[in-house]
């Protein structure tokens, strides 16, 4: 192998190493950014609050809600 071929081969290897290191650095940086974003969105913002159950009065099983709630009744009876 001549000096010229050896020098060309060494340059190709160095270029390949540089490309691989840039690719690996880009991948690691991307993974770090994605991991940071997942970590920021995965943790809770505040305390968990549970709502207590309420027993609503049911008039013969046909009503649901508070007994003193305001009600609006509209009748549409003239359908022709």
What is the per-residue pLDDT across 7-55, written as a single tens digit (0 to 9) for each?
Answer: 999 999 999 999 999 999 999 999 999 999 998 888 777 788 888 887 7
pLDDT, position 47: 82
| Mean pLDDT for the stretch of residues 50-61 | 70
From the list 8, 26, 30, 6, the residue with the least C-alpha distance to 18 is 26
Highest mean pLDDT among 25-34, 57-66, 71-80: 25-34
Cα separation, 50 vs 60, in Å, equals 29
| Mean pLDDT for the stretch of residues 68-79 | 79
pLDDT, position 45: 76
Q: Would you list the DSSP string of the chain?
A: --HHHHHHHHHHHHHHHHHHHHHHHHHHHHHHHHHHHHHHHHS-SS----PPP-----STTS--S-TT------------
């Amino acid at each position: 192998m001549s000096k010229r071929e050896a020098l060309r081969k060494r340059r190709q290897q160095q270029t390949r190493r540089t490309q691989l290191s840039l690719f690996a650095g880009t991948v690691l940086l991307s993974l770090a950014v994605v991991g940071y974003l997942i970590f920021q969105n995965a943790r809770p913002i505040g305390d968990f609050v549970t709502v207590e159950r309420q027993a609503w009065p049911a008039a013969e099983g046909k009503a649901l809600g508070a007994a003193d709630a305001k009600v609006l009744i509209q009748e549409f009876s003239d359908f022709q």
